[in-house]
Structure 1
Amino acid sequence: MRRAAAVVLLLVLAAAAAGWLLTAPDPLTAADLPRHEPDAANGERMFYAGGCTSCHAAPGARGDEKLRLAGGLDLTSPFGTFRVPNISPDPDSGIGGWSDVDFVNAVMRGVSPDGEHYYPSFPYPSYARMRVEDVLDMKAFIDTLPAVRSTVAGHALAFPYSIRRAVGVWKRLNMHPEPVVALAGAGPEVARGQYLVEGPGHCGECHTPRDALGGARLDQWLAGAPNPEGRGTIPNITPHADGIARWSTGDIAYSLETGFKPDFDSFGGSMVAVQDNMARLPAEDRAAIAAYLKAVPPLPDAVTSQARTGAESGG
């Protein structure tokens, strides 16, 4: 009996140790970073492509105030409320004390300087597709912005989502740093657009449906999704009849620059802030994004398809 109990105990301990290892963060070291002379001008380009002000500016900020990255925005979700942190260069309440490798690990690995997982309300699954040099340039630009002293409260999450270590399992299931779409023979413009959309632009974080654990359904890439803010839906932006098949590349680029759509309507909701950021990119980047969106596989609207499937199955 004692031998059996000892075997069970050993199995339990082995399973616990294996689980601890499987959920461990996987940060880079300083030695893993390339030699790179930071380019703050390119960093500004990446900053706006990444939409940093959309979440990290104080709620309601306008104009230059949006460059005061004090955080404080509440992001509601089925898992609880995520609170966006201060990423200004303030050394105490912001990220002014972070090293280059701290910043790269946060953005590309979702790991804090203390070695803890960040929750994927921070879109690092997309940022993981960025080039390290672009991330270092982004830090160089953020370092030029105003330091703001502002402490943000922690997240308010229900159990078991409050177990931060469990994010390690989520990452193993959902971190895919390779390109989402295989585009054989794509030219430089489409390749640039793919980088911007799949990486810093993190368009799939909203425009792609998610599974029960919040992982992106990459088989329905950019096919639309329920609105994470809780009302309405996020549109399909693939070149399908349910999406933007009737939009030309010029239509897409113009909409990203001005906010006006081909049907003479304008963007609304969270897309207003996204468009404001996109308008600050060079015209060639908006054209590249448009070229990529017309090159991805056309897919039927994911929200409509799911609703139809549920109705047919009695759900």
Structure 2
Amino acid sequence: MRLWLIVAIVAPALAGAAFAVLYLWPVDKPERIEVLAGDPGRGAYLARMSGCIACHTNTEGGGKPLAGGVRLPTDFGTFYSPNLTTDPDHGIGNWNLQDFAAAVRQGISPEGEPYYPSFPYPFYGSFSDQDIADLWAAFKTVPPVAEASTPHDMLPPFNLRMGLKLWRGLFYVPETFDPDPARSDLWNRGKFIVEGPAHCGACHTPRNAAGARQAELALHGASKLPDGGKSPPITSAALKRQGWTISSLQYALKTGIMPDGDVFGGSMGEVVRDGTAFLSEEDREAIATYLLERDG
């Protein structure tokens, strides 16, 4: 009886202590960016490369640019992309450059709360301070839309945002860009785009039961995508087996037309329509070069 009494007293106390630690665990790191003059044109280009338009514009629902509302169903619940317009109440109109940098590169809100990894912030860790300043300059030109973001509809226990701190501790590895001096500038440019802003691995890498990417299977394809489909492997070996060349892949990233005359569908069609179609020929060539010549 004494043992049960001790357990009854200690267990809730330990659970409460663990809850308090998780709640108070700070995850944000101060972003110290020197005041930089941003180029909104370059920032808009980076936003296209990063998929911001596709993920935060509800074209099917007639939504306005970057006003959010795109639905993303998953096994953990349904995510809805937030309003990223300059509206001060419902968007990011009250943010500053430091807030923006912490959100994009760390996945942390101005209030210090972690964002769900449906926002591919780990890939944006490769952005330089100048990239962030340019993006911020571009976002400040977006007209405000006074529409509240749709709240995420998460299943328990994933609706407890503090649990993301534990997830980050276990799985969060920000991407950084480390050029390979043995490779060409074009190859390295493709590496930066594929592993960074374009976040190709977000859809083309399988995930574990906790929703974290399996790094050892990077770009090997994935099932159970939010649209219900699956993504093919885009490793160098897989692409070559399917007959892709740098030229045909570069063309497909511009037009959506594959070598057999068929077109990309689903999410990849949106990626081309709202993203890669706007990139320069050189950047599309860089992506194709990296994917077809990378190891693995």
Listed as ranges, the matches of 1:247-266 within 5 Å are 247-266=244-263
- Could you tell me which residue of structure 1 aligns to residue 30 of structure 2? 28
- Could you tell me which residue of structure 2 aligns to residue 292 of structure 1? 290
Per the TM alignment, residue 173 of structure 1 is displaced from its structure 2 partner at its CA by 2.4
- Could you tell me which residue of structure 2 aligns to residue 278 of structure 1? 276
Q: Structure 1 residues 115 and 273 mapped into 2: Cα distance closer, same or farther (>3 Å)?
A: same
Distance 1:179 1:221 in 2: 15
Q: Structure 1 residues 296 and 159 mapped into 2: Cα distance closer, same or farther (>3 Å)?
A: same
Which of 61, 67, 72 aligns to 1:75? It is 72
Listed as ranges, the matches of 1:150-189 within 5 Å are 150-179=147-176, 183=180, 185-189=182-186
Distance 2:236 2:243 in 1: 8
- Could you tell me which residue of structure 1 aligns to residue 55 of structure 2? 55
Which of 100, 108, 111 aligns to 1:111? It is 108
1:213 matched to 2:215? The reply is: no
AA at the equivalent of 1:28: P
SS of corresponding position for 2:254:
helix
Per the TM alignment, residue 114 of structure 1 is displaced from its structure 2 partner at its CA by 1.4
Per the TM alignment, residue 245 of structure 1 is displaced from its structure 2 partner at its CA by 5.6
- Could you tell me which residue of structure 2 aligns to residue 304 of structure 1? none
1:203 matched to 2:203? The reply is: no
Distance 2:241 2:95 in 1: 41
Distance 1:233 1:124 in 2: 22
Structure 1 unaligned residues grouped into runs of 5+: 299-315
CA contact (8 A) 2:103 2:110 kept: yes
SS of corresponding position for 1:92:
coil
TM-score in terms of structure 1 length: 0.83
Q: Structure 1 residues 14 and 78 mapped into 2: Cα distance closer, same or farther (>3 Å)?
A: closer
CA contact (8 A) 1:206 1:227 kept: no
Per the TM alignment, residue 241 of structure 1 is displaced from its structure 2 partner at its CA by 3.7
Distance 1:47 1:178 in 2: 17
AA at the equivalent of 1:91: P
- Could you tell me which residue of structure 2 aligns to residue 45 of structure 1? 45
Per the TM alignment, residue 76 of structure 1 is displaced from its structure 2 partner at its CA by 0.2
Distance 1:74 1:52 in 2: 14
CA contact (8 A) 2:56 2:70 kept: yes
Distance 1:242 1:293 in 2: 8
AA at the equivalent of 2:165: G
- Could you tell me which residue of structure 2 aligns to residue 88 of structure 1? 85
Per the TM alignment, residue 242 of structure 1 is displaced from its structure 2 partner at its CA by 6.5
1:123 matched to 2:120? The reply is: yes
Distance 2:278 2:259 in 1: 20
CA contact (8 A) 1:125 1:176 kept: yes
Q: Structure 1 residues 242 and 58 mapped into 2: Cα distance closer, same or farther (>3 Å)?
A: closer
Per the TM alignment, residue 60 of structure 1 is displaced from its structure 2 partner at its CA by 2.0
Per the TM alignment, residue 243 of structure 1 is displaced from its structure 2 partner at its CA by 6.5
SS of corresponding position for 2:162:
helix
Distance 1:229 1:132 in 2: 32
Percent of aligned pairs sharing the same letter: 38
Aligned residue pair count = 291
Question: Could you give the per-residue CA deviations for residues 155-189 of structure 1, whole angstroms, max 9, x where no partner exists?
Answer: 11111101101111212222222448985612211
Q: Structure 1 residues 269 and 244 mapped into 2: Cα distance closer, same or farther (>3 Å)?
A: farther
What is the CA RMSD across the aligned residues, in angstroms? 2.8
Distance 2:148 2:130 in 1: 29
- Could you tell me which residue of structure 2 aligns to residue 192 of structure 1? 189
CA contact (8 A) 1:46 1:138 kept: yes
CA contact (8 A) 1:71 1:152 kept: yes
SS of corresponding position for 1:270:
helix
Which has the larger displacement, 180-189 or 268-277? 180-189
Q: Structure 1 residues 139 and 153 mapped into 2: Cα distance closer, same or farther (>3 Å)?
A: same
AA at the equivalent of 1:110: G
